Amino acid sequence: MPDQSIPQARTREAAPENAVAAAAHGGISRRRLLGTAGATGLVLGTAGTAAGYAAAPSEAAVPLTSLGTDRAMFHGKHQPGITDGLQARGHLVAFDLAAGAGRKEAAALLRRWSETARRLMAGEPSAHGDTDVARDAGPSSLTLTFGFGHSFFARTGLEKQRPVALDPLPEFSSDRLDKNRSNGDLWVQIGANDALVAFHALRAIQKDAGRAAKVRWQMNGFNRSPGATAHPMTARNLMGQIDGTRNPKPGEPDFDRRIFVPEKGEPAWMANGSYAVVRRIRMLLDDWEKLSVTAQEAVIGRRKADGAALSGGTETTAMDLEKTDAEGNLVVPINAHARITRPDQNGGAAMLRRPFSFHDGINHDGMPDAGLLFICWQADPLRGFVPVQRKLDRGDALSPFIRHESSGLFAVPGGAAEGEYVGQKLLEG
């Protein structure tokens, strides 16, 4: 769980408050509400943090009554769900192509999925057999993101188009991976600020798969809801720590180089795309909560109250790795999680973290099955995730309190232009 934060979110469209109120009382249809949002020209700029929400310092938090009208765009240079702010609810689902299904069936499936994503992200019902689950809601910042796993290329006869960056991740000593909940031919990330909207999208995607693909695994996650705090702030994870302070931000000069495949990169179909590493990281909360706050802070290297480095300052103050106390001991311990994950301690390796927390009940031993659905984005996992995880594997103070239980790596192509579907350049190239 590298010590990084979430970037500024895409601009959203927002309906006027009276339209939202009217919709809440049945005085305006969902379609009219969305039309009103587009006609007003009002724009609310929001930025996501590990809490899934933040705003520019001069802006107030978006009121909860506007959540339904917030809309992300399906068509664009990059797929949605990468640089958008974190949403309050998420679903991750991997599919395997059915026996006998190949390139033709995969192309038809991605065409269906893209059209469904476009409609649902615009607040419209799916084209066929809509369940009406989200009938009364607006888009609620819904995003759908699609990726291809290593095995997809052999199944479709496209091995020559498989990127080198998609080679399987190396094994790590701390891994306790369940193969049945790892990898997959296809991967879909769904996020929204309303649980019913997110579920509606999940159900539509599953139905669209038809006989072409079957679910391999599926996971559910959550983040803090927008507007839940007095002011926008970086989120806390289930350990109670502020999580995500040092994420790369879109405004930084090298952001695109680190996160996205260049337009003239290889393979050509991955231009403007990214690679997603997906891990289910169980937090051993009972053990963690036995530590004192001081001990927890030493493990992370940051103060629990405000996320500031133990070397002093505020959350965003640069960490002083050489600072010592009166006895000559390093203030930020040598094996502190935040020290190990710093890009300048890993040859500049950086990745964009966009996770969800999860809680899947209580195990038979009485311990919560809870933790982090870790999702990170990078132009090349061999220069992003892998070097950082290798270093964590060698001596991260946090390792005794977490367990990596599933893993996946997916090639996520660039966004679809108007009239195109995601992955078209691969499947029809």
Q: How many angstroms separate the CA atoms of 196 and 136, rounded?
A: 10
Residue 62, pLDDT score:
59
Q: How many angstroms separate the CA atoms of 200 and 158, rounded?
A: 32
Return the exposure string of 363-387: e unless at least 16 CB atoms fall within 10 Å of the residue's CB, then b. eeeeebebbbbbbbbbbbbebbbbb
Q: Is 423 helix (H, G, I), strand (E, B) or coil?
A: coil
DSSP for 250-295 reads: TTSTTHHHHHS--TT-SSGGGTT-EEEEEEEEEE-HHHHTTS-HHH
Q: How many angstroms separate the CA atoms of 145 and 73, rounded?
A: 12
Residues designated catalytic: 243
Residue 246, pLDDT score:
86
The two tokens of residue 290 are 């036995």
What residues contact 35, with CB distance under 8 A and at least 6 apart? none
Residue 342, pLDDT score:
84
Residue 47, pLDDT score:
34
End-to-end CA distance of the chain: 37
Residue 54, pLDDT score:
35
pTM: 0.86
Domain definitions of the chain by residue range: 12-245+415-427, 285-408
Instruction: Please list the ranges in the chain whose pLDDT falls under 50.
Output: 5-59
